[in-house]
Structure 1
Amino acid sequence: MSTPRADTHALADPAMAALHDATTPTDADLAALHARLESRADADLDVVYRTVDSPVGPLLLAATDAGLVRVAFAVEDHDAVLQTLADRVGPRILRAPGRLDAAAREVEEYFAGRRHSFDLPLDLRLSAGFRRLVQEHLPHIGFGSTASYAQVAVAVGNPGAVRAVGTACATNPLPVVVPCHRVLRSDGSLGGYVGGLDAKRTLLTLETAA
């Protein structure tokens, strides 16, 4: 898909005008201009994104000023995910890998077995109500541990909402970081997973082996 780009209006910027008039701009001039234009462009954006490689395939990471808003597996169709973000968050979306360096680093540390929990700010605006309540509980299921859908329903105060817990896990906008893969059926079988059962199995195996 084609994603919108922030218009920096560079020639209208006083720094650009000064640079345009200068016969021999210095490295400091150029650095200051780049920082100013980058800051202006960032201020105009609703969502920034990048992809990272992982043992479960390429992951799309997307963030707003509030925090990480979306993690998507390749099977989810990244173009469709970005279009949904444009519709629900805002149309000004830009691929900006540097803005997501911290998130990419924590994801890579997780898959390398060096990180057992994430310390990233999260933007949970894509979930609401009971689904959000469930998703906020999921990080309390520790690394290498699992819980059943029924146990999660009890933990969030609604023992009869087992199916709704399953729906909350299936619609989790931040898989891996918000660990819905740790929720299993009561008989120990995997249940469903947004990234596919092979991905869920890989994540669980990674955690038990770490």
Structure 2
Amino acid sequence: MFNSPIGTLYLTFSGRLLSGVSFEKPEHVPFRKGAAPASFIKELKAYFSGAHVAFSQEIKFLTGTDFEKKVWSALKDIPFGETRSYKWVAEKTGNSAAVRAVGRALSKNPVPIVVPCHRVIESDGSIGGYSSGVEVKRRLLEMEYYAKGK
């Protein structure tokens, strides 16, 4: 667990590899307390303090289709404090017509924040959806926007 300014984050690991970040306690995973890697906790603290963090924690996707993994990989190209459209992500996957499929893939992202699906918005600039709720997405985007101005 990690207590953040936007709520408790439940962190799931497969060995030393991050496999999940959730705002709700995962039901399908036996929960046991253990120490997350100190370097990852340090990065989370820095991120929520407004630092421009490129997370270095290795990730293991335990779920996801090849397309979903391609979408999640593309998100790492969106810089801190910036946003891109669903269409941009679809184009990065090589399938510009897959805008709706991108939205579905984002909703299944097992490691939000670290794989920054919150940085994807509608082409018209509206915020779009978020698996943990639009208010959480708005807070993450505002935090990054104001931190980027520092």
Task: Give the TM-score normalised by structure 1.
Answer: 0.66
* Match of residue 95 from structure 1: 33
* Match of residue 141 from structure 1: 78
Partner amino acid, structure 1, of 2:44: V
CA distance in 2, matches of 1:115, 1:67: 22
* Match of residue 34 from structure 1: none
Partner amino acid, structure 1, of 2:98: A
SS in 1 for 2:45: helix
CA distance in 1, matches of 2:11, 2:38: 10
Give yes or no for the alignment of 1:61 onto 2:5: no
Give yes or no for the alignment of 1:84 onto 2:21: no
CA distance in 2, matches of 1:153, 1:207: 23
Q: Is the 8 A contact 1:63 1:100 kept in 2?
A: no
2:125 to 188, 199, 210: 188
2:99 to 162, 169, 184: 162
Q: Is the 8 A contact 1:60 1:72 kept in 2?
A: yes
CA distance in 1, matches of 2:111, 2:83: 18
Deviation at 1:66, TM superposition (A): 5.0
SS in 1 for 2:144: helix
- Identify the structure with bigger relative contact order (alpha carbons < 8 Å, sequence gap 6+): 2
Task: Note the residue ranges of structure 2 that are not aligned, 5 or more in a row.
Answer: none
Q: Is the 8 A contact 1:67 1:120 kept in 2?
A: yes
* Mapping for residues 41-60 of structure 1, pairs under 5 Å: 51-60=1-10
Q: Is the 8 A contact 2:21 2:112 kept in 1?
A: yes
Deviation at 1:56, TM superposition (A): 1.1
Q: Is the 8 A contact 2:16 2:37 kept in 1?
A: no
* Match of residue 209 from structure 1: 146
Judging by fraction of residues, say which structure has more helix. Answer: 1
* Match of residue 123 from structure 1: 60
Deviation at 1:100, TM superposition (A): 3.5
What is the CA deviation profile of residues 31-90 of structure 1, one whole-angstrom value per residue up to 9, with x for unaligned ones?
A: xxxxxxxxxxxxxxxxxxxx11112111111111251000001xxx31xx1x3235xxxx
Q: Is the 8 A contact 1:184 1:191 kept in 2?
A: yes
Q: How many residues align?
A: 147
Task: Give the TM-score normalised by structure 2.
Answer: 0.91
CA distance in 1, matches of 2:88, 2:40: 30
CA distance in 2, matches of 1:134, 1:106: 23
